[in-house]
Amino acid sequence: MPRSTRPVRDVLFVDGVRTPFGKAGPKGMYHETRADDLVINCIRELLRRNPGLPPERVDDVAIAATTQLGDQGLTIGRTAALLAGLPKSVPGYAIDRMCAGAMTAVTTTAGGIAFGAYDVVIAGGVEHMGRHPMGEGVDPNPRILAEKLVDPSALVMGSTAENLHDRFPHLTKERADAFAAASQAKYAKAVADGKVQPDLVPVATRSVEQGWGLATDDEPPRPGTTVDDLAGLKTPFRPHGRVTAGNSAGLNDGATAALLVSDEAAAEFGLTPKMRLVSYSFAGVEPEVMGVGPVPATEKALAKAGLSIDDIGLLEINEAFAVQVLAFLDHFGIADDDPRVNPYGGAIAVGHPLASSGVRLMNQLARQFEERPEVRYGVTTMCIGIGMGGTVVWENPHHADYTQEAAA
């Protein structure tokens, strides 16, 4: 029999939502709220915002968590789908690629859409770092250190950021602090301008002492932060170091979810795309300097798309550490204050609940595409623990060339 062939189908990002991000720990707003309830809220909100989509037509639910224990375990994609009210016929699964969990949930399910296995998927991530600190319950193989596969610092993310400062001495603490203060300012302006709130899903919270509450705003931001405020902060990963709580993302709780569909499904259910996936790539780097991972990942993703960095009009770069973003910008010859980079601020301000952050980047890029129809291509990229980077290239459906090509 002749071998069957399948055309590769377009993958469309239709919608994305997230919870407000909270501070991890006893004083955080989600301290007594379950992790799975955070992502369940996101799934429900996606269905509410897209009433033309029959729930039974969701083909799979992929949810990421870095620490898959307790209320973040038990194949959370499946359990969250059930608890969110999706039919029992809808399957689900869990993903772990540390910080890039939600990003990997998107790219993995997108591959299924492109191949023809899926028409509609929900992909996202959750991290409750208050209940489940990164590394909880892990047992690293002793060969990793005994055979010197990596330096011990590779297992401590803040130490890898200090290593990046060592490798690139021109990336000074002063530059990192300036970038961090700018992130806080950009985020505060985005909130004042109403740019952030449309993506947020209110979450009912509980506290034994304070009773029930409602989380409607992000908890981590520190508006008004100045470079002088950051200059004197402690450097916990090294005496006289350069990495501080002020030029890094914090420890946070939160969840995200996105709705991805094929072209055919978008037409069938009357769904309007916010972005089209162009290409993606993951790359490995030395674990000791994991923050440089977005550089080769972006180079690979751009090459696969037949694009260069000059074609990219918007960049959403996860700010795990300021130095990591600066290394990326320097590599590509982009100024620290380039307006294309994180226009709404980034994780230094809003927080980084590990496996959930990839979809936050996508949500923000989608909003910016709508505001900037003259921009055709954008990138979401992030560094990943244990020495990796991930990048997704997206196309703006509001751009004139996209509309003309779709009509053709």
Residues 405, 408: Cα–Cα separation, whole Å = 5
3-state secondary structure of 201: coil
Asked if residues 257 and 48 have their Cβ atoms less than 8 Å apart, the reply is no
- C-alpha Rg value of the chain to the nearest Å: 20
Report the Cα 251 to chain-centroid distance in Å.
15
Residue 360 neighbours by CB distance under 10 Å: 32
Residues 81, 56: Cα–Cα separation, whole Å = 11
Helices H / strands E in the chain, number of each: 13, 12
Can you say whether the dihedral through the CA atoms of 239, 244, 249, 253 is positive or negative? positive
Residues 33, 203: Cα–Cα separation, whole Å = 9
Record the tokens describing residue 305, joined without a space: 């798309």
Residues 362, 381: Cα–Cα separation, whole Å = 10
Write out the catalytic residue numbers: 99, 352, 383
Calculate the alpha carbon distances from 98 to 35, 103, 371, 392 in Å.
16, 10, 31, 16
Residues listed for the chain:
408
3-state secondary structure 212-231: EEEECCCCCCCCCCCHHHHH
Record the tokens describing residue 203, joined without a space: 């979450």
Residue identified by tokens 């409750």 is 128
Q: Give 26-87 as a DSSP string.
A: TTSTTTTS-HHHHHHHHHHHHHHH-TTS-GGG--EEEEE-SS-SGGG-SSHHHHHHHHTT--
Residue identified by tokens 């890898």 is 160
Q: Specify the pairing of strand 377-384 against strand 312-317.
A: parallel
Tell me the residue type at 37: D
